[in-house]
Amino acid sequence: MLFDDPVFGSRVLTIITLSFHVIYATIGVGVPLMIMIAHWVGIKKNDEHYILLAKRWARGFVVTVAVGVVTGTAMGLQLSLLWPNFMELAGNVIALPLFLEVFAFFFEAIFLGIYAYTWDRFEDRRKHFLLLIPVVLGAGASAVFITVVNSFMNSPQGFDIVNGQLVNLNPIAAMFTPAMPTKVSHVLATAYMTVAFLLASIAAFKLLKGSNHVYHKKSLYLTMKMGLIFSIAAALIGDLSGKYLAEYQPEKLAAAEWHFETEEGAPLLMYGILDGEGEVKYEIKIPYALSILASGSPTSEVIGLDQFPEEETPPLVIHYFFDVMVTIGMFMVVLSLVYWTGIKRKWPFVRSNWYRWLIVLGGPLSVIAIEAGWWMTEVGRQPWILNGIMTIEAAATSSDYVGLMVILFGGLYLILGIGTIVVLNRMFRKNPVELELEQQEAIKGGETA
């Protein structure tokens, strides 16, 4: 399969690269905001712990950014290498946001370089803080522009095809597609949420591993609070994403919900399995919930898969991707809400070991939710690469060597994934917070003496 079917090979390579890159991309979008918040709190409260938090996050960040940059380069170039026919069309219609993305990233990279190397070059700390603004904006804008391209693939517009020729091209209309508002905001909110929970994982882990330093407690509280805000945002926007799907890509929603018959007052199915005859078993049924997700009213009609020809039905496996994403989303809202309330109300169990272990788990779980979300979006668009206009069969390369590339890239990503963890781990273990705080004290003491 992999070696003699370039279409299949291209799909595999694209999903591997996307799945790997999206971890670093998410970190790349979210961490600058968290650094900025910590740095700001540090200046406001005049609390060295928060400044050090920003410093240490930034130090780890430059490593992940590097891997993000190169895998992102791979992703961008692979689009042309694996889907040349699609990119020829896309180049004509949707090249603008791709171009914009490069500018946004450029902007971010320059100021990140400056920020990371100028910790002691400003007398006034607030000036150094200002350098973060272009970093956060650039990172956010990159995510926005790339998601704009993905939105275009889901709800293409801004051109017409007459006799096989592209006419009436409008690059601006192609950017502002119906999918764009929900997608862009969902991607941003989930990136901020995921990063907040990842950083919370680290803090909780440190607390579990014996360090009882207040530095970690402050970090945990701050990141859980951010996580709470953004996970609520993610869920609310996710609900709007469902409404977008019901209107513009009903086949994707129906496949995600195993919703076979068009009906009013449709229930939401969670989990379950499909038996041989197309019957759903062992599912959890939430009455009317699908109608509410689709249009906000419990009695509205939701289009089922019976309305679509079989060859245009997306793979039914996306049901599980959807379930995983939503379950994790809900779980994280509850986890962070209970934690936050618990700290305010002094419930002892939120400081217990088992609760901290749940928080440690929350970071990786959020990453899994990101992956599940992208798989749902991408696999759920099958068989189309450009919804309703071009199939993946028509878009793919005819090269014979895709299979080999899958192996090479897959192997390299594996090595890099492990490498990142090893390097980050070594970097922070060699230089623990306690030591760094002591050194800072020493320098301060030396300066005033």
Give the one entry of ligand HEM, another protein, none that residue 342 binds, where binding means its C-beta sits below a cut-off of 5 to 8 angstroms depending on kind. none
Options 187, 199, 324, 335; binder of ligand HEM; rule CB under 6 A: 187
Taking the least distance from each CB to another protein, the nearer of 31 and 324 is 31
| Among 86, 91, 92, CA closest to 11 | 86
Q: Using CB under 6 A, count the residues that bind ligand HEM.
A: 29
The two beta strands, 268-270 and 284-286, are: antiparallel
Measured from the CB of residue 253, what is the shortest distance to another protein in angstroms? 32
Asked if residue 201 binds ligand HEM (CB under 6 A), the reply is no
For the chain, counts of helices (H) and of strands (E): 16, 10
Place of tokens 């979300």: 373
**Rounded Cα–Cα distance for residues 55 and 43 (Å):** 13
Q: CB under 8 Å to 411, separation ≥6 — which residues? A: none
Binding mask 351-380 vs ligand HEM (x if CB under 6 A, - otherwise)? ---------------x--xx--xx-xx--x
Options 325, 359, 392, 395; binder of ligand HEM; rule CB under 6 A: 325
Give the one entry of ligand HEM, another protein, none that residue 194 binds, where binding means its C-beta sits below a cut-off of 5 to 8 angstroms depending on kind. ligand HEM
Asked if residue 259 binds ligand HEM (CB under 6 A), the reply is no
Taking the least distance from each CB to ligand HEM, the nearer of 52 and 199 is 199
Give the one entry of another protein, ligand HEM, none that residue 234 binds, where binding means its C-beta sits below a cut-off of 5 to 8 angstroms depending on kind. ligand HEM
Both tokens assigned to 409: 């890239």
Asked if residue 394 binds another protein (CB under 8 A), the reply is no
Asked if residue 444 binds another protein (CB under 8 A), the reply is no
* Cα dihedral 149→152→158→160 (10° resolution): 120
Binding range to ligand HEM, per CB under 6 A, among 11-19, 52-60, 190-198, 211-219: 190-198
**Rounded Cα–Cα distance for residues 258 and 317 (Å):** 9
Give the one entry of ligand HEM, another protein, none that residue 139 binds, where binding means its C-beta sits below a cut-off of 5 to 8 angstroms depending on kind. none
Measured from the CB of residue 331, what is the shortest distance to another protein in angstroms? 33
Q: Is 445 exposed, middle or buried (0-12, 13-18, 19+ CB in 10 A)?
A: exposed
Residue 302's φ and ψ, nearest 5 degrees, are -120, 125
Asked if residue 269 binds ligand HEM (CB under 6 A), the reply is no
Binding range to another protein, per CB under 8 A, among 30-38, 100-108, 207-215, 376-384: 100-108
Options 16, 43, 63, 232; binder of another protein; rule CB under 8 A: 63
Taking the least distance from each CB to another protein, the nearer of 100 and 318 is 100
Both tokens assigned to 356: 């901290």
Q: Using CB under 8 A, count the residues that bind another protein.
A: 74
Taking the least distance from each CB to another protein, the nearer of 107 and 320 is 107
Give the one entry of another protein, ligand HEM, none that residue 238 binds, where binding means its C-beta sits below a cut-off of 5 to 8 angstroms depending on kind. ligand HEM
Options 54, 174, 234, 324; binder of ligand HEM; rule CB under 6 A: 234
Asked if residue 15 binds another protein (CB under 8 A), the reply is no
Q: CB under 8 Å to 118, separation ≥6 — which residues? A: 128, 131
Q: What burial letters (b/e) apply to 225-254, b meaning 16+ CB within 10 Å?
A: bbbbbbbbbbbebbeebbbbbbeebbbbbb
Give the one entry of another protein, ligand HEM, none that residue 83 binds, where binding means its C-beta sits below a cut-off of 5 to 8 angstroms depending on kind. another protein
Asked if residue 204 binds ligand HEM (CB under 6 A), the reply is no
**Rounded Cα–Cα distance for residues 60 and 80 (Å):** 32
Q: What burial letters (b/e) apply to 342-353, b meaning 16+ CB within 10 Å?
A: bbeeeeeebeee
Q: What burial letters (b/e) apply to 316-328, b meaning 16+ CB within 10 Å?
A: bebbbbbbbbbeb
Beta-carbon count within 10 A of 273 CB: 12
**Rounded Cα–Cα distance for residues 116 and 402 (Å):** 39
Taking the least distance from each CB to another protein, the nearer of 93 and 268 is 93
Taking the least distance from each CB to ligand HEM, the nearer of 131 and 196 is 196
Place of tokens 């809202």: 333
Asked if residue 442 binds ligand HEM (CB under 6 A), the reply is no
Give the one entry of another protein, ligand HEM, none that residue 70 binds, where binding means its C-beta sits below a cut-off of 5 to 8 angstroms depending on kind. another protein
Residue 270's φ and ψ, nearest 5 degrees, are -115, 140
Asked if residue 247 binds ligand HEM (CB under 6 A), the reply is no
* Amino acid, res. 78: Q
Asked if residue 314 binds ligand HEM (CB under 6 A), the reply is no
Q: What does the binding site for ligand HEM look like in residue numbers (CB under 6 A)?
A: 154, 179, 183, 186-187, 190, 193-194, 234-235, 238-239, 241-242, 245, 252, 325-326, 328-330, 366, 369-370, 373-374, 376-377, 380
